[in-house]
Amino acid sequence: MYKTLRHLTPPPDYYSETISGEIKKLKDKVLDEYLEKANLKSQYEKDDVKREAKDSVDGYKSKLKTKTAKYVKLINEKIK
């Protein structure tokens, strides 16, 4: 019974600073540092993910992951 609870949490996000670099977990603290370097922190905080009545738990988590992916892409474009 308890093993099924582990599957409810989404898999963590990972990142690497170079193509052949070490793969690390993307934590909120690290994401905040990169957002500050790219001057995107205020924009990230204003970009709310709206939870709608029709959203399932997985659907809402997917929206959060999409938001994170969007800003990781923007960070990569600005830091180049």
Average pLDDT over residues 20-32: 89
Q: Long-range contacts made by residues 16-20, C-beta under 8 angstroms, separation at least 24?
A: none
* pLDDT tens string 32-62: 999 999 999 999 999 998 888 888 878 888 8
User: Among all chains, which residue has been given the structure tokens 């997985």?
Assistant: 58
pLDDT of 6 reads: 45
* pLDDT tens string 14-23: 888 888 889 9
- DSSP letters along 33-52, please? HHHHHTT-HHHHHHSPPPPP
- Provide the whole-model pTM: 0.75
